[in-house]
Amino acid sequence: MEYFIQQLINGISVGSIYALIALGYTMVYGIIKLINFAHGDVFMVGSFIGLYSAKYLANAGLPPIVVLLLSLIISMTISALLGISIERLAYKPLRKSTRIAALITAIGVSFLLEYTGVLILGPQAKGFPDIMDKKQYHLFGSSIQVESNQIMILLTTIILMLVLQYIVRYTKTGKAMRAVSFDVEAARLMGINVDRTISATFAIGSALAAAAGVIFGMTYNSVDPLMGVMPGLKAFVAAVLGGIGSIPGALVGGLLLGTVETEISSLGFSSWRDGVAFAVLILILIFKPSGLFGKNVREKV
């Protein structure tokens, strides 16, 4: 039982990374119905920006907590700008064309980010600096261990989720986002600047992915230019699992996927982990095609 709970805790910390990336997928899909395959690579870029800013700031002799917060903020800001420019340059010209053309463009952007990364940084994995000292705590005097890193990851995720929830619920941009995702044309008629809203969506999604990238780097201590591919795909699975277009769905989907994966690995089937993730996805799709939290949209005749 304790072993199980231990794995659950590990699963939640992996899952919160998936959840943060999945939010970007879900928000973009909710608004422009595009599977943004480049999102996993924004996560990678965010991770590298985090790495270099953390190194630089740590050398400047700042205290660890400031280094962490500053590198998170720097990485999130630059990635948000990256997200906006990707949308402006690559996706905006395709607003009116077929979805498959937009999808191919997304794949193109994904390759572009990955191999520009390989060109500039080299294909080898790079070590991520230890920003915070890792401490281990025992839960309620039992043998269940919680690392300080894991607590911090969960805290960061929860804070970012609350901020996101606030933005989407109460700010003007958030209301515009919900309106655009409900009906683009009607939103435009009501005087909402659709282009700006879409940019804002990309900015927020990319910033969250960047935060996930920094957290990922701190957890696994190794980052490389192709690292966005698998987590990106998994996060996408998580978004579909929770019901694509739904923000709480992305959170639940991410945590669920992370937990299932860690439990599978802990049972000794780690090489089957990815397979199980996809099998879960297909089962969900077959029995509940709109995901756990998705709305059932009836097709108009």
Partner 1 sequence: MKKINKKFWLGILIALAFYGIVKVLLTTGVLSDVNQSMLLLIGVNIMLAVSLNLITGITGQFSIGHAGFMSVGAYTSAILTLDYNVPFIPAILAGGLLAAVFGVLIGMPTLRLNGDYLAIATLGFGEIIRIIMLNTEYVGGASGLSGIPAKTTWTMLFFFTLISVVLINNFIRSTHGRACIAIRENEIAAEAMGINTTRYKIIAFTIGALFAGMAGGLSAHTFYVITPGSFNFLKSFEIIVMVVLGGLGSTAGSIVGAVFVTLLYTYLREFPEWRMIIYSIVLILMMIFRPSGLLGVSKFSFFKFSKKEAKANDAIESSGTP
- Is 295 a binding residue for partner 1 by CB under 8 A? The answer is no
- Is 104 a binding residue for partner 1 by CB under 8 A? The answer is yes
Residue 42: partners with Cβ closer than 8 Å, 6 or more residues away: 24, 79, 82, 83, 86, 113, 206, 209, 210, 228
- Is 52 a binding residue for partner 1 by CB under 8 A? The answer is no
- Is 105 a binding residue for partner 1 by CB under 8 A? The answer is yes
Instruction: Report d(CA 122, CA 32) in Å as an integer.
Output: 34
Closer residue to partner 1 in complex, CB, 115/220: 115
Closer residue to partner 1 in complex, CB, 111/166: 111
Q: Sketch the per residue contact string, 16 through 45, with partner 1: x for CB under 8 A, - otherwise.
A: -----------------x-x----------
**Sole binder of partner 1 in the list 5, 163, 190, 279 (CB under 8 A):** 279
Closer residue to partner 1 in complex, CB, 50/245: 245
* Least distance (Å) between residue 60 CB and partner 1: 33
Q: Sketch the per residue contact string, 122 through 161, with partner 1: x for CB under 8 A, - otherwise.
A: ----------------------------------------
Instruction: Report d(CA 266, CA 93) in Å as an integer.
Output: 46
* Least distance (Å) between residue 99 CB and partner 1: 8
- Is 297 a binding residue for partner 1 by CB under 8 A? The answer is no
Burial class (CB within 10 angstroms; exposed 0-12, middle 13-18, buried 19+) of 29 = buried
Cα 259 vs. chain centroid, distance in angstroms? Answer: 16
Q: Which of 294, 261, 262, 239 is nearest to 39 (CA)?
A: 239
**Sole binder of partner 1 in the list 66, 107, 158, 163 (CB under 8 A):** 107
- Is 278 a binding residue for partner 1 by CB under 8 A? The answer is yes
- Is 195 a binding residue for partner 1 by CB under 8 A? The answer is no
Instruction: Report d(CA 219, CA 235) in Å as an integer.
Output: 17
Instruction: Report d(CA 267, CA 13) in Å as an integer.
Output: 18
Between residue 216 and residue 235, which ones bind partner 1 under the rule CB under 8 A? 233
| Span near partner 1 by CB under 8 A; candidates 5-13, 15-23, 190-198, 268-276 | 268-276
Residue written as tokens 């962490």? 68
| Span near partner 1 by CB under 8 A; candidates 56-64, 162-170, 213-221, 284-292 | 284-292
Closer residue to partner 1 in complex, CB, 127/275: 275
- The residues of the shown chain that bind partner 1, judged by CB under 8 A, are 33, 35, 90, 93-94, 97-102, 104-105, 107-112, 114-116, 118-119, 233, 236-237, 240, 244, 271-272, 274-275, 278-279, 281-282, 285-286, 289, 299, 301
